Every structure is written in C-alpha cells, then in structure tokens.
Structure 1
C-alpha cells in the first residue's frame, strides 16, 4: 500500500527516502508512492495526511510543523518542495509578529509539474493542474478544472513587515 524511496528517474540519485519525525503524526489513507531522493520532516506538533492514490516521482521534500493535508489522487512531478512553516517570523512595524506557520490543504485530483513550491497558507481547489515551477503561498481562488501557473513581477506584500533575524524564533 505504501511505497517509499524507489528509483524511477535516472537523473536523480538513488538515495531512497529519509523520514525525520520529532513526534508529529503521519497518516496514510490509502495507496502512497514517493520516489527516491525524497525527504519528509515532521515537527513535534506537525500533522501530515496523505489521501489515497498519492504519487510523487523523485526529490519530493515535505516539511510540516503545522498541518499538511492532501486530497485523493494527487500527483507530483520531480523536485517538489512543500512547507507549512517559514522557520522564522516577521516583525510588524505596528508591533507584534507574524505567525510563521499555517496549514497547507491540497484538493483532490491535483497534478503538479516539476519544480513547484507550495508554502504555508496554500489551499487548492479540486481538479487542477499546476504548471512546472509554480509557487503557491495562499488560497488558489480559481474554479475547478483550471490550469494554474505563475504571474511574473507580483508584489506579495508591499508594506508592514520585515524579518528581524535577531528575533525570529517561532512557537508552534
């Protein structure tokens, strides 16, 4: 039912798969295949839930210190990165801090081309295709059965936050 670390792509090393779990929870709700040269890192409060018929070919990298949920029939191409944490926080000019982590929820029947980056706050609808190199960091507000790619030269947030490297430890 679960197949981890098998070689499918000769361009990537046959290093198997590394799973680092600091006390979080990983749930498999059916068949799951993750190819060679892949890494999964789960924090003490991290939760990862794989829907049935999950597939990632090679160099799949997942870090969860919050929550990552995959729907059913998800397919990932090569060299994917998924993170529900920044491993730092941002200091707000008006006072306080950003949270530094948020859940990721991937809808069912999604297909991701190689090189996609999926960051905290991402939510995708069902039945979507994501072009190679797409970077996601928020709710994808499109109808089902859409193809999604990157927009170039988009300012994510223009004012109000910065990274204070002297005070960026986050609490989970």
Structure 2
C-alpha cells in the first residue's frame, strides 16, 4: 500500500473517532513520548476517564497509528458504553490491542498490567498488584480478571488480615469465554481454552491445547485451541 493511500485510510479511520479527538489527543500526549504521541497509537471511542495517573507504556519498537483501540463497538448486544479507564499504576502494551465496548481497566497504586501483542478484550480487568497476559489472548464479554479479593478477611484468632492478593498470569493464545471470572493466583499454560461461566482460581498444571471449564474450573478435554485467524 502506498504512503498516500495509507494516509488516506488512516484519515478515514480517524474521522470515525472525531467526536472524541480531544480526549484522544490528551491521552496520547499525556502518557507517551512526543515521537510516539504524534502517531496517535491509541484511539478511544466513548472513553470515560475516572483517573489518568501512573504510566502507560508501549513496549514495542514499531509504534504506529491506531495500533491500540479502546471502546470499539464490537458486541452490539452489549451496552455501547465505550471504555472505562481508572489508571493509578502501570499499563504496558506489548503490541496491538482491541478493547471492545463495555470494557474497563482499573489499576490501583503500584499495580502493573502487562498485555501481550494482539490482545482482544471485551471484559473488565481490575489490578491491585500484577496481572499479565501473553500474546494472542481473548477475554470475552462480561468476563472479569482480578488479582485481589478487594475486601480482606480478619483471622479471629490472630487478628491478622488474610492475604487478599496474588499475581495472575495468563499464557499465550488463551481464550477466556464470556461470563468467566478469573481470580487471584490464576496461572495458565499456553494454548488453553476456557468455556463460558468458568471460575479460574489457581495454577492449572495441564498440557497446552487443553479445554477447561466449570466452577471450579477443571480439565474437560485436550487437543483444542482457538485460532483467531481461522474462525
């Protein structure tokens, strides 16, 4: 594709986000170095800014226009509410990402979320300490990932608070279907698929290409994976 044609398509795409251009400009120039910000790597549709503190980093040598899209209307059966951003920690993008309508990201204090390349998210991610996704992951609509219980319990004998946070690490090419809940301490291998309404809550010592599901989540079958390029 020629540079002129590429620029034309880029302009057409930007025009679709024109109602939110001021917020797009603010977000990009607030978080990124000038050489990255002028490329407008992040496009926002119906963004709701609760807090824009901390850092947002694109850890990729090839930063380009619109490589990260947030609030895109993908699921027409879900509320067309854009994306909610409540950032007070660090958000790291390793590459391209799409966040659909009705998605949200919340990072507290020193929390860190790392998203592998080609992240596809239509759910909510709530981070107190550390959440990491590998490359080519899908988090389907109405699903939530969180590394904290958020409300600690007190031991009646010792009076101490029960540990309420533990890191979450999702392997490469994981597909987490709709209405799933991923809670603290979850660790998954590469190429795993989780069926709808599953509760992920521990380290899963299974082979790649495993199909898991249920509450609590368990191994259902083997020899399957989600190929986003052939689906």
1:72-87 aligned within 5 A: 72-87=135-150
Alpha-carbon distance in 2 for matches of 1:36, 1:73: 19
User: With structure 1 as the length reference, what TM-score do the two structures score?
Assistant: 0.82
SS across alignment from 2:109: coil
Q: Gaps (5+ residues) in structure 1?
A: 153-172
> Counterpart of 1:17?
83
Instruction: Give the Å deviation of 1:15.
Output: 1.0
Runs of 4+ residues deviating >6 angstroms: none
Instruction: Give the Å deviation of 1:13.
Output: 1.5
For the 8 Å contact 2:185–2:202, the answer to whether it is kept is yes
Task: Say which structure, 1 or 2, has more relative contact order (CA 8 Å, 6+ apart).
Answer: 1
Q: 1:32 aligns with which of 80, 93, 97?
A: 97
Larger Rg: 2
How many aligned residue pairs are there? 150
Q: Which is helix-richer, 1 or 2?
A: 2
Alpha-carbon distance in 2 for matches of 1:53, 1:10: 21
CA RMSD of aligned residues (A): 1.6
User: With structure 2 as the length reference, what TM-score do the two structures score?
Assistant: 0.62
Q: 2:187 aligns with which of 112, 115, 123?
A: 123
Q: Gaps (5+ residues) in structure 2?
A: 1-66, 217-231
